[in-house]
Structure 1
């Protein structure tokens, strides 16, 4: 592949355009940023929430492919401090703390979704 010319595949172009657009919104509105590990943890938690199976803190800390329990606990704490995650306790069971996305997180994913849509529209235009 010629490295001086951009790829002519519409799918490659669409994905690269998405990455460009997503890069613009990676910073949170107040200028805070999430590192790649925080993003991966947030995505795992939100995906489970989206599937109507909220993840408990214990389950999140057990995601060995994302880090050690101590590291994951620190990441959960940082995501809470950034107002990206909150806890939900079910009535009758105060021990299990479920991680749920905040409105800020939903807005963040809304912006990413809009970037994907814009990248797709640009690729078919």
Structure 2
């Protein structure tokens, strides 16, 4: 199992290195992106306020900076739903979808090489 995990990390490093949008973000931003994508996939998009309260990820000030980073590199966007223009929801973009698809391929490659 150790070799499987190390192979996974090696392939993951390649994916991260080949993604121009991931070059400028750190692990905290990636963790925040994962949370945003997971909630969105479950049909429960996070609001900016809910994201700011994710104390397991980082402090509110850090989360605010990381949301800006993710938005600037095109991995998330803020949308409004319905006529409520006060509540902003965080959703992954097509670039984020491509990144997650590449990660899925890495997982497949990892297990195919066993």
Same-fold call, TM cutoff 0.5? yes
5+ residue gaps, structure 2: none
The structure 2 residue matched to 1:24, chosen from 14, 23, 39, is 14
Matched, 1:51 2:42: yes
Change in Cα spacing, 1:97 to 1:31, as seen in structure 2 (3 Å) is closer
SS, match of residue 89 in structure 1: strand
Change in Cα spacing, 1:61 to 1:90, as seen in structure 2 (3 Å) is same
Q: Please tell me whether the aligned partners of residues 38 and 75 of structure 1 are also in contact (alpha carbons under 8 angstroms).
A: yes
Q: Please tell me whether the aligned partners of residues 26 and 33 of structure 1 are also in contact (alpha carbons under 8 angstroms).
A: no
1:30: Cα distance to partner? 5.7
CA distance in 2, matches of 1:44, 1:51: 11
The structure 2 residue matched to 1:112, chosen from 94, 103, 114, is 103
Runs of 4+ in 1 over 3 A off after TM superposition: none
Matched, 1:98 2:89: yes
CA distance in 1, matches of 2:5, 2:45: 29
Change in Cα spacing, 1:106 to 1:119, as seen in structure 2 (3 Å) is same
Q: TM-score, normalised by structure 2?
A: 0.92
The structure 1 residue matched to 2:31, chosen from 4, 28, 40, is 40
Residue equivalent to 2:73: 82
Note the aligned Cα RMSD (angstroms): 1.3
Higher Cα radius of gyration: 1
Question: Matched residue pairs, number?
Answer: 113
Matched, 1:122 2:106: no
